[in-house]
Amino acid sequence: MAKLNAKNPADGLLPLTEGEMTLTEVEAREIWSIAPYPGVSAGIPSPNRSTGKEGARMIWAGRDQALWIGTNAPDAKLSETAALTDQSDAWTIVRLDGAGADDALARLTPLDLREGHFKRGHTARTLVGHMTAQITRTTKGFEIMVFRSMAGTLVHELQVAMQSVAARSKAQRSWE
């Protein structure tokens, strides 16, 4: 009988460093979809915002939808006001940090990622290349979520963008 071993979606692909940017996989966490029942407020963040901290937070994921991301499942009492669906195995999350991270990610998404516009705690459901993604600005950079099956493509696309930004930065320094 075959023995199956659980693996992270980007296992063997990360970490990567290009120039001053690093791309790492975020440790596997609990990820739950929260959809309030009609007429009930379940404390979903405002559109394009996230609440909480690295250990446990809720991020807006669409009209009347949020994703709970934490080290534990959300409080079971929340099921009285919202439908909860465990999606922990459906997603991969990577973190892009360092000088130039916003420039690299801007090559792949139509969002305005400038820090004055897309501030810490801001989040958006958007495209990264051709992949549906959720991008959230953190204290140090960005967390990017895509469906688990797209992990390899996401890493490749981000690596190419990071290499391009790092090469441009290196060329600019040599011209000075």
Residue 164 near residue 106, CB atoms below 8 Å: no
Measured distance CA(83)–CA(167) in Å, rounded: 47
> Residue 133 class from Cβ within 10 Å (0-12 exposed, 13-18 middle, 19+ buried)?
buried
Nearest to 72 by CA among 88, 51, 48, 95: 88
Query: How is the chain split into domains, by residue range?
Result: 14-28+90-176, 30-87
Pairwise pLDDT comparison (33 vs 3), residue with the higher score: 33
pLDDT tens-digit profile of 25-59? 998 789 999 999 998 877 889 999 999 876 789 99
26-41 b/e with 16+ CB inside 10 Å = b?
A: beebebbbbbbeeeee
pLDDT tens-digit profile of 93-105? 999 999 999 999 9
Place of tokens 């705690």: 121
Residue 161 near residue 19, CB atoms below 8 Å: no
pLDDT tens-digit profile of 86-95? 999 999 999 9
User: Which architecture characterizes domain 14-28+90-176 according to CATH?
Assistant: 2-Layer Sandwich (3.30)
Q: Which amino acid is at 172?
A: Q
Q: What is the mean pLDDT of the chain?
A: 92
